């Protein structure tokens, strides 16, 4: 409990801050949870924020705050592309859609093309079109 409180006070990338917790408790209404454990909220009763002209919607991440970990159905809702969240409508993936994965940049699963110094195996050789400049 003490560790969670300290993380909420001193970090913004782990779940929620103390300010977000207070705002959510005071003004938020839980809408649902996705398969990654992220919890989605909106302003209580769908009240419109005068500064925005629409209701506020936000997510509290399960673990590290990474916007690429919002699945497509929730992404559409949180960005006001659709009115109903996936919990209130029948959201079905299209047959051509792949299961959602977060952005792997900076991890071992990142894309490394042939020729990259981080790629596995032998580096790609030149095809003879390169000639070094000689003065």
pLDDT at position 95, please? 85
Model confidence at 127: pLDDT above 70: no
pLDDT at position 41, please? 93
Q: Find where tokens 């809702």 sit.
A: 77
pLDDT at position 30, please? 93
Model confidence at 11: pLDDT above 80: no
Q: Where are the domains of the chain?
A: 2-78
Question: Mean pLDDT throughout 69-80?
Answer: 88
69 backbone dihedrals φ, ψ, rounded to 5°: -95, 20
CA distance readout (Å), 24 to 11, 84, 95? 17, 20, 36
pLDDT at position 5, please? 66
30-57 per-position pLDDT tens digit:
999 998 899 999 998 888 888 888 899 9
Q: Bigger pLDDT: 118 or 59?
A: 59
């Amino acid at each position: 409990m003490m560790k969670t409180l300290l993380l909420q006070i001193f970090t913004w990338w782990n779940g929620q801050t103390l300010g977000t917790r207070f705002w959510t408790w005071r003004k938020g209404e839980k809408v649902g949870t996705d398969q990654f454990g992220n919890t989605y909220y909106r302003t209580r009763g769908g009240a419109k924020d005068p500064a925005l002209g629409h209701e506020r919607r936000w997510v509290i991440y399960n673990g590290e705050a990474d916007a690429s970990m919002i699945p497509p159905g929730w992404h559409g809702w949180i960005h006001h592309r659709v009115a109903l969240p996936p919990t209130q409508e029948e959201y079905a993936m299209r047959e051509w859609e792949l299961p959602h994965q977060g952005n792997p940049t900076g991890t071992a699963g990142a894309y490394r093309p042939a020729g990259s110094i981080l790629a596995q195996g032998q580096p790609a050789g030149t095809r003879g079109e390169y000639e070094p400049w000689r003065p």
